[in-house]
């Protein structure tokens, strides 16, 4: 009798061991839960994979306090429009039907983060004087977010390029026909902006026929402290 009980116990151990090896080889995962399920009669739920958390404007990490999250995407050729997201608000996009050929610009209060104005300026067939009237009266600390679409430069004159340089741009003076450009500047900035990318239109390297590839840039822009009165 005791021998029969012992043999059954050994048989059960061997069966569990064989089941574990089979599950481990076939499933390639943690088969311990399967063994525990066989013993307890309950199958454990697999541990879900952690979800990648997204922050404002799709950034991979949260911005520090008193900073604005942003993501800029230039247009792709003359087909897909640009996109400007600031503080998790999509300001300009094809879905909003407010993009335009040339320069798409959003002005933001550099102290409060409030949206001030959104405009598009046609730099192929438009009048550069409209852009100049837009940029000349900017108040100190105003943040300027720019995304190009199709052609950002044909109508640019020396004054327009200089105004962008005063906002912190290093690429505006050389910006050319159908270049891709994304830029964040500020009125009264003391140094060159760290937020700028330019892709030159070049037949040898263009991703699209006649246009370079689209650009995407994101980051965190610090807000200014309010002026003391």
**Mean local confidence (pLDDT), 9-23:** 50
Q: By 3-state DSSP, what share of the chain in percent is helix, strand and coil, each rounded to 5?
A: 25, 25, 50
Structure tokens at 195: 């937020």
Q: What is the pLDDT of residues 74-103, one digit of tens each?
A: 999 999 999 999 999 999 999 999 999 999
Contacts of 195 (CB under 8 A, 6+ apart): 70, 183, 184, 185, 217, 219, 221
Nearest to 82 by CA among 164, 223, 180: 180
For 197, phi and psi rounded to 5 degrees?
Answer: -140, 145
What is the model's pTM? 0.77
pLDDT at residue 8 is higher than 70: no
């Amino acid at each position: 009798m005791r021998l029969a009980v012992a043999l059954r116990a050994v048989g059960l151990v061997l069966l569990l061991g064989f089941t574990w090896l089979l599950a481990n080889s076939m499933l390639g995962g943690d088969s311990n839960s399967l063994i525990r399920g066989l013993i307890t009669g309950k199958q454990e739920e697999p541990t879900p994979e952690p979800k990648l958390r997204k922050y404002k404007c799709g950034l991979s990490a949260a911005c520090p306090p008193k900073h604005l999250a942003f993501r800029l995407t230039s247009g792709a050729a003359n087909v897909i429009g640009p996109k400007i997201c600031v503080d998790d608000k999509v300001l300009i996009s094809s879905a909003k039907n407010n993009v335009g050929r040339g320069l798409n610009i959003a002005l933001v209060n550099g102290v409060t983060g409030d949206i001030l104005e959104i405009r598009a300026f046609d730099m192929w067939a438009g009048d550069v004087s409209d852009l100049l009237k837009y940029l000349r009266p900017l108040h100190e600390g105003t943040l300027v977010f720019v995304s190009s679409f199709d052609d950002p430069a044909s109508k640019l004159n020396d004054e327009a390029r200089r105004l962008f340089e005063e906002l912190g741009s290093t690429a505006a003076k050389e910006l050319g026909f159908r270049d891709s450009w994304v830029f964040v500047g500020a009125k009264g900035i003391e140094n060159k902006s760290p937020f700028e990318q330019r892709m030159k239109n070049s037949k040898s390297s263009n991703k699209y026929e006649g246009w370079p590839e689209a650009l995407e840039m994101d980051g965190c822009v610090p807000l200014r402290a309010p002026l003391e009165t």
